[in-house]
Amino acid sequence: MRVIIRKTYDEISAEAAMLIRARMLRKKNFVLGLATGSSPLGLYRELIRLHRQEGLSFKNVITFNLDEYYGIGPGHPQSYRYFMNENLFNHIDIKKSATHVPDGLAKDFEKFCRGYENAIKKAGGIDLQVLGIGSDGHIGFNEPGSAFTSRTRLIALDEQTIADNARFFSKKEDVPRFAISMGVGTILEARELILIANGTKKADIIARTLEGPVTSLISATAIHFHPRVTVFLDEDAASKLQRVGYYRFAEESEKAIGKEIF
């Protein structure tokens, strides 16, 4: 696992975007897994800039989003399809037919989830999956206790998640109680993972994720089972890590040999 720490959120967003750019340029039909929430917004702004100013094309990119609220449609301003359109898809040259976000109105959610898994396989699997992290350590909507072998499914949201997301709705009662989410096992099948976190509010859970015991009560700790993970942190999010000195030293050593070391 690589841990990249920079002073500001803008710096980690730019570096994460450059990593994605490098991977996209290596493979013609790149399959990119995406996340929503505040953490990847800077990354998406930087990808838009790379497209507009440096000609980075997304014409051959296929995307799969981690999750979607269950019970609201794509036109709802708090749906994750709406979020992705507004914050990325509408501003780059990607084919909308190549973008996949779970259907929050699927009547047969079990059938839909099986189909979503099959669509990922049909695309050749996810080359790189972008992750944020919830205050309780969830990735996607894999709430505490989610099995590390879990697949795309309907999940009952935790009270903490509902409270955290209430600020986006008129009132707490409007927050959906369920979501469709890729499972932890689905996420771990991506060929590469990047996790982005910023701010002091994420410092505790980042320390527990990177340096605490691996446990299904913090689904993000499953990244320890993946062979190719890069974690991007600003100094605030990294402020409670005990091994900051090692992470910085490892990065300097990596630069010295000119090769990424996971």
Q: What is the pLDDT along the chain (262 residues), one digit of tens a residue?
A: 999 999 999 999 999 999 999 999 999 999 999 999 999 999 999 999 999 999 999 999 999 999 999 999 999 999 999 999 999 999 999 999 999 999 999 999 999 999 999 999 999 999 999 999 999 999 999 999 999 999 999 999 999 899 988 988 998 999 999 999 999 999 999 999 999 999 999 999 999 999 999 999 999 999 999 999 999 999 999 999 999 999 999 999 999 999 999 9
pTM: 0.96
Q: Quote the strand ranges of 52-189, DSSP E.
A: 62-65, 67-69, 99-100, 128-131, 153-156, 178-181
Rounded CA gap, 42 and 5, in Å?
A: 15
Residue 40 placed within a domain: yes
Rounded CA gap, 257 and 255, in Å?
A: 5
Look at residue 91 in the predicted model and tell me its pLDDT.
Answer: 98
Q: Is 63 helix (H, G, I), strand (E, B) or coil?
A: strand
Residue 105 placed within a domain: yes
Cβ contacts of residue 11 below 8 Å, gap of 6+?
Answer: 234
Residue 85 placed within a domain: yes
Residue 35 placed within a domain: yes
Residue 262 placed within a domain: no
Residue 107 placed within a domain: yes
**Whose structure tokens read 């605490």?**
212
CATH of the domain at 220: 3.40.50.1360
The domain in which residue 183 lies consists of 2-257
Residue 17 placed within a domain: yes
Look at residue 235 in the predicted model and tell me its pLDDT.
Answer: 98
Number of domains the chain is built from? 1
Rounded CA gap, 169 and 174, in Å?
A: 6
Residue 61 placed within a domain: yes
Look at residue 65 in the predicted model and tell me its pLDDT.
Answer: 98
Active-site amino acid positions: 67, 136, 138, 143
